[in-house]
């Protein structure tokens, strides 16, 4: 858990460095081209970041810097990074444990290993549905007030 908190704090520091060193320049220099991207980040930035944290296609350092150049809120970046990196680490650790138990080629298709990878694939989709549900619930409660 401490490693996860430390990783999230480190990611947030890289995010903040990018934001305060070159973020303003990038936003002003490329304002026209980056506006649609910023709108997408405002609507679904937490989901995009969460998906990127779960599927490590891009190095985390690049994700930290690029997200620092966007308009995503610092708190949103931190908590989504924390949850995403912790969940990803748990699923990958589970898959690694399952892989270590393989003693034959047929073990690759073991139900527990396949379940690990199915969970990894479904996790971003479940998270998106949850975020949408929370957003609708918040919008409903805001309109009632």
What's the mean pLDDT in 7-36? Answer: 91
Q: How confident is residue 142, by pLDDT bands cut at 50, 70 and 90?
A: low
Name residues whose C-beta falls within 8 Å of residue 123's C-beta, 6 or more positions apart in sequence. Answer: 54, 87, 91
Per-residue model confidence (pLDDT) at position 91: 74
SS3 24: helix
Per-residue model confidence (pLDDT) at position 65: 92
State the CB neighbour count (10 A cutoff) for residue 9: 13
What mean pLDDT, rounded, does the chain reach? 83
For 108-117, give one letter per residue: b (16+ CB within 10 A) or e: eeeeebeebe
CB 53 within 8 A of CB 86: no
Per-residue model confidence (pLDDT) at position 53: 84
CA distance 126 to 109: 24
SS3 30: coil
Per-residue model confidence (pLDDT) at position 20: 93
Least confident of 23-27, 56-60, 61-65: 56-60
> What region, left, alpha or beta, does residue 74 occupy, with left being phi > 0 and alpha being psi -120 to 50 degrees?
alpha
Per-residue model confidence (pLDDT) at position 93: 80
Name residues whose C-beta falls within 8 Å of residue 34's C-beta, 6 or more positions apart in sequence. Answer: 26, 27
End-to-end CA distance of the chain: 38
User: What global pTM score does this model have?
Assistant: 0.70
Q: How confident is residue 144, by pLDDT bands cut at 50, 70 and 90?
A: low
Q: pLDDT by residue (tens digit) across 65-109?
A: 999 989 899 999 999 999 888 887 887 787 778 777 777 777 777
In this predicted structure, the answer to whether residue 1 has a pLDDT above a threshold of 80 is no
Name residues whose C-beta falls within 8 Å of residue 47's C-beta, 6 or more positions apart in sequence. Answer: 124, 127, 128, 131
SS3 104: coil
């Amino acid at each position: 858990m401490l490693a996860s908190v430390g990783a999230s704090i480190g990611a947030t520091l890289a995010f903040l460095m990018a934001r305060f060193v070159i973020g303003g320049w990038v936003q002003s220099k490329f304002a026209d081209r980056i506006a649609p991207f910023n709108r997408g980040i405002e609507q679904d930035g937490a989901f995009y970041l969460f998906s990127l944290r779960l599927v490590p296609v891009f190095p985390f350092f690049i994700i930290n810097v690029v997200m620092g150049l966007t308009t995503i809120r610092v708190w949103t970046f931190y908590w989504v990074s924390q949850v995403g990196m912790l969940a990803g680490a748990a699923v990958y650790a589970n898959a690694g444990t399952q892989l270590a138990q393989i003693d034959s080629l047929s073990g690759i298709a073991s139900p527990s290993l396949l379940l690990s990878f199915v969970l990894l694939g479904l996790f971003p989709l479940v998270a998106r549905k949850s975020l949408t549900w929370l957003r609708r619930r918040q919008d409903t409660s805001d309109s009632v007030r």
